[in-house]
Structure 1
Amino acid sequence: MAWRTARSRGTSERTWPSAFWTLAAIVVPPISLLAKIRIVDGHKLPREGPFVLAVNHYSELDAVMVAVAVWRLRRLPRFLAKESLFHVPVLGWALRATGMVPVGRTGSSADAQHTLDVSQALVEHGRGVIVYPEGTLTRDPDLWPMRGKTGAVRLALAGDIPLIPVAQWGAQEIMPRYGKIALWPLRRPVTVVFGDPIDLAGFHSDGKPAPATLSRATTVVMDRIAEMLSTLRGIPAPAQRWNPAEHGQKETGRLDP
Structure 2
Amino acid sequence: MLKVRKVQEKRGWAWATVVAIIKPLLITTTKHEWIDGEKIPASGGCVVAMNHISHIDPLTLGWLLYEHGRLVRYLAKDALFETPVVKHIVRDAKQIPVSRLTSDAAKAFDAACQAVRDGECVGVYPEGTITKDPTGWPMRGKTGAARIALETGCPVIPIGQWGAQDILPAYSLRFHAFPRRTAHYKVGDPVDLSDLVGRPITNDLLQEATERIMAAITDLVADLRGEPAPAVRFDPRAAGVRQIGNPRKDKKRRRA
* Alignment TM-score, normalising by the size of structure 1: 0.88
Tell me, yes or no, if structure 1 residue 175 matches structure 2 residue 168: yes
Alignment check: 8 A CA contact 2:96 2:108 kept: no
Moved more, 60-69 or 14-23: 14-23
Q: Aligned in 2, Cα 1:70/1:210: closer, same or farther, shift over 3 Å?
A: same
Tell me, yes or no, if structure 1 residue 45 matches structure 2 residue 40: yes
Moved more, 24-33 or 114-123: 114-123
1:255 alignment partner AA: P
Instruction: Tell me how far apart the structure 2 counterparts of residues 13 and 156 of structure 1 sit (CA, whole Å).
Output: 23
Instruction: Tell me how far apart the structure 2 counterparts of residues 205 and 74 of structure 1 sit (CA, whole Å).
Output: 30
1:88 alignment partner AA: T
Which residue is 1:214 aligned to? 206
Q: Aligned in 2, Cα 1:111/1:63: closer, same or farther, shift over 3 Å?
A: closer
Which residue is 1:244 aligned to? 236
Alignment check: 8 A CA contact 1:56 1:132 kept: yes
Which residue is 1:5 aligned to? none
How far the C-alpha of 1:113 sits from its partner, in A, is 5.8
Which residue is 1:63 aligned to? 58
Cα RMSD between the aligned structures? 1.8
Q: Select 2:97's aligned residue among 83, 102, 110.
A: 102
* Alignment TM-score, normalising by the size of structure 2: 0.88
Tell me, yes or no, if structure 1 residue 119 matches structure 2 residue 96: no
Q: Aligned in 2, Cα 1:66/1:89: closer, same or farther, shift over 3 Å?
A: same
Instruction: Tell me how far apart the structure 2 counterparts of residues 114 and 189 of structure 1 sit (CA, whole Å).
Output: 32
Alignment check: 8 A CA contact 2:6 2:68 kept: no
Identity of aligned residues (%): 38
Which residue is 2:74 aligned to? 79
Instruction: Tell me how far apart the structure 1 counterparts of residues 101 and 162 of structure 2 sit (CA, whole Å).
Output: 31
Q: Select 2:247's aligned residue among 227, 230, 255.
A: 255
Alignment check: 8 A CA contact 1:119 1:159 kept: yes
Deviations 1:57-92 (A, max 9, x none): 111212211011111111112211122321222111
Tell me, yes or no, if structure 1 residue 161 matches structure 2 residue 160: no
**Number of residue equivalences:** 243
Q: How does 1:130-169 map to 2 (within 5 A)?
A: 130-169=123-162
